[in-house]
Amino acid sequence: MASICKDPNGKKRIVFTSPDGVRKSLWLGKMTVRLAETVKQKVERIIATKITGTPLDDDTAKWIAKLDDTLSNKLMKAGLIHKRDSVTLQKFIDGYIESRSDVKSATIITYHNARRNLIKFFGPNKPLRDINPGDADDFRLFLLKKEKLSENTARKRSGCAKQFFRAAMKRELIQRNPFSELITTLKKNTERQYFVTREEAEKVIESCIDSQWRLLFALSRFGGLRCPSEHLCLKWGDVLWGENKLVVRSPKTEHHEGKEFRIIPIFPELRPHLEEVFELAEPGSEYVITRYRDSNQNLRTQLLRTIAKAGLKPWPKLGQNLRSTRETELAEKYPLHVVCEWIGNSQLIAAKHYLQVTDDHFSEATQEPVEKTARNTAQQSADGLRNDLQADNDAQEKTPVLQGVSTDCNWLQSVYAGPEGLEPPTKRL
């Protein structure tokens, strides 16, 4: 057991017996009795774990991680804890990114974007353990105010930071994740949604420079494919002409079990463009799209030129809004779970980021339904017929019913039903 000793000058020290039986002192300096008692309890727990060979409890481990350098150095000199490595921000993030050989190149680019922001804000030599939740809040404001990033981009960069520090926790370099409380889920931004009408799509297709570009655009607008990754993976062996189906291989979701590919119909809007490219393909061609396979080619730039040539204004998020438009169209006709299977996303993502409310929805909502109009027309016709018949009947003199009997009908009122009622008696089953 350890004990607290008070020196005449007001300084305090903790006297304890180390696991190897040596009597030692931990000089605390001037400190309150309450704080000295806390240190004493932690020292006793550390000694107990060394003797029993068990790991430290979470509270003691967190206490050690939060210690300032002065007390931490005293514990190290007393042989109670090991030298604490001060891992810097840049060193850790660089090592983490280098270790992620399992992710796509686009994800690595996203990591580097977040790394650049973190180092610019905190500095490359900032120790990981010195970053607290307040710093994380300041970093988010830095992204919005100083870097002028959009809300969703700031959330995505903060999400990467949260991922970096979560990995540091798993490596026991820090005890808490300062970014854990930040909201990092993307916010639905309806301002950047755009419904590409069929008329606009046809104008763009007519302005494309060749058949492969027409197919590229049609696959995005009418097939809902992700551009360009899913377009470039499409092979002629994936085109099942007889079954009228298309196998779409998805590099984005292939690391999820059962999501390596999906099967979609060869929609009527796609077939003529597929057939045109097939007729022009070189014998033995493997891939459907052959002219734009170089990753250095900027398909976005060419698409912007094509849209301008069609006399249209470029819409936000060119590729995603093409997929969003197609999913919105299909959801009008088919069950949502079927549409999501064809588009390759979940119903939650579809509802949050893809499905749109269009002008046609408002127009149709303000128009009287066909069924109701037909019913009202039939009702009006029936009312008119009844009025005509009533007018004819009024024009004629009414003929009394049951002549000669109506005056003697009082006898009916004196007839009463028997105990068995009006129905004739029947045998019980």
**What does the DSSP assignment read for 156-175?**
HHHHHHHHHHHHHHHTTS-S
Which part of the chain has CATH 1.10.150.130? 89-187
Residues recorded for the chain: 429
pLDDT score of 202: 97
Q: Could you list the pLDDT tens digit for every one of the 429 residues in the chain?
A: 788 888 877 788 888 888 888 888 888 888 888 888 888 898 888 888 888 888 778 788 778 777 777 888 888 888 888 765 568 999 999 999 999 988 888 899 999 999 999 999 999 999 998 899 999 999 999 999 999 999 999 999 999 999 999 999 888 788 789 999 998 888 777 788 899 999 999 999 999 999 999 999 999 999 999 998 899 999 999 999 999 999 999 988 887 888 899 999 999 999 999 999 999 999 999 999 998 887 667 789 999 999 999 999 999 999 999 999 999 999 999 999 999 999 998 888 888 778 888 888 888 888 866 555 555 555 555 555 455 545 544 544 444 444 444 444 444 444 444 544 444 555 444
Superfamily of domain 89-187: Tyrosine recombinase, N-terminal domain (1.10.150.130)
* pLDDT at residue 180, rounded to an integer: 93
**Burial class of residue 392 in the structure, from the number of CB atoms within 10 Å of its CB (0-12 exposed, 13-18 middle, 19+ buried):** exposed
How high is the pLDDT of residue 60? 83
Q: What is the DSSP letter of 235?
A: B
pLDDT at 428: 46
Of 75, 310, 349, which is closest to residue 214 (Cα–Cα)?
310
CATH annotation of 192-362: 1.10.443.10
pLDDT of residue 398: 46
- Backbone phi and psi for residue 88, each to the nearest 5 degrees, phi listed first: -85, 160
pTM of the complete model beyond 0.75: no
Q: What is the DSSP string of 312-373?
A: -PPPSSHHHHHHHHHHHHHHTTS-HHHHHHHHTS-HHHIIIII----HHHHHHHHSPPHHHH
The DSSP letter of residue 100 is -
Rounded Cα–Cα distance for residues 262 and 326 (Å)? 16
- Terminal CA-CA length for the chain: 94
CB 29 within 8 A of CB 23: no
The count of other CB atoms within 10 Å of the CB of residue 52 is 9
Residue 46 confidence (pLDDT): 87
Q: Does the CA dihedral 285-289-291-296 come out positive or negative?
A: negative
| pLDDT score at 406 | 44
What is the torsion angle, in degrees rounded to the nearest 10, for the CA atoms of residue 187, residue 189, residue 190 and residue 192? -160
Q: Is the dihedral of CA 9, 13, 15, 19 positive or negative?
A: negative
Distance CA 97, CA 116 (A): 12
